[in-house]
Structure 1
Amino acid sequence: MTDVPQQTLDDATAVLHSALAGDGDAVVGTFDKVVDRAGLAGAYGVAWCLAATMVGDVPAPGGAALDFPGIDEAGYDTRWVARFVSAYANADADTGEALFGAAVADGLLPDCLLTLAGSTVATLRSRAG
């Protein structure tokens, strides 16, 4: 990720700190503040940063294959996170934006963002241990 506004990075850091503390209300509250300040585009930027944190360096477009065993049986938010992270890993912003828009339209964006934050924290913890 390059050329990410500092405010987006600060917001992503705040989300991660809240998620690390297990404070789901604060995670959602941070995203709400971002939406109030920068609209859904701001929240999308923070979500894309979280995906970047999970994936790390992005290969060439179409160059990543991620394995999510049992994903078809998972809940909406978990399937959404798997697809959103896959979109990031494949440098497919169009798909990421479409997924984000679908979660908004379905009224499930807060659940998806909370699951994304939790998944990011789980990934960071697994790398550290």
Structure 2
Amino acid sequence: MTDSPQQTFDDATAVLRSALAGDGDAVTVAFDEVVDRSGLAGAYGVAWCLAATMVGDPVPPGTCALDFPGIDEAGYDTRWVARFVSAYANADDDTGEALFGAAAADGLLPECLLTLAGSTVATLRSRAA
């Protein structure tokens, strides 16, 4: 079972509130609650919502390129976030789902989601400055 759009938005808001407060444990708990309620599909929806928050206004699909110097030397979670957000920006759901599934299979999804939440907060703060 997947969440309703409003539930996904509410869950993303809870994750962002925790991330804004600098509470990584609460971010993890918020994602765990989503997984407990609606499985990885629900967590994917929240992650996709966070990517949307980072990207901002819609961009024409297929027009975004991943430009991240040194991406191959970055940590798994950082590479994952860059690629996941790029998939969102290019409306490439298949790649987003593949990245999400790979991180879950590698046992690194919690770290990736925590980095995504932190990156989203950093983006919001940079826009506000």
- TM-score normalised by structure 1 residue count: 0.94
Q: CA deviation at 1:61?
A: 2.1
Task: Look up the match of 1:7.
Answer: 7
User: C-alpha distance in 1, partners of 2:60/2:81?
Assistant: 21
Is the CA contact 1:59–1:89 (under 8 Å) kept in the aligned structure 2?
yes
Runs (5+) with no aligned partner, structure 2:
none
Task: Look up the match of 1:67.
Answer: 67
Deviates more, 1:63-72 or 1:89-98: 63-72
Q: CA deviation at 1:51?
A: 0.1
**Do structure 1's residue 22 and structure 2's residue 4 form an aligned pair?**
no
Task: Look up the match of 2:85.
Answer: 85
User: C-alpha distance in 2, partners of 1:105/1:48?
Assistant: 18
Q: CA RMSD in A?
A: 1.0
Is the CA contact 1:11–1:30 (under 8 Å) kept in the aligned structure 2?
yes
Structure 2 matches for 1:16-55, cutoff 5 A? 16-55=16-55
Percent same amino acid among aligned pairs?
87
User: C-alpha distance in 1, partners of 2:34/2:28?
Assistant: 10
2:47 corresponds to which letter in structure 1?
A: A
Q: CA deviation at 1:72?
A: 1.3
Find runs of 4+ consecutive structure 1 residues off by over 4 angstroms: none
User: C-alpha distance in 2, partners of 1:120/1:69?
Assistant: 19
Deviations 1:89-110 (A, max 9, x none): 0000000000000000000000
Runs (5+) with no aligned partner, structure 1:
none
Q: CA deviation at 1:12?
A: 0.2
How many residue pairs get aligned? The number is: 126
User: C-alpha distance in 1, partners of 2:17/2:30?
Assistant: 11
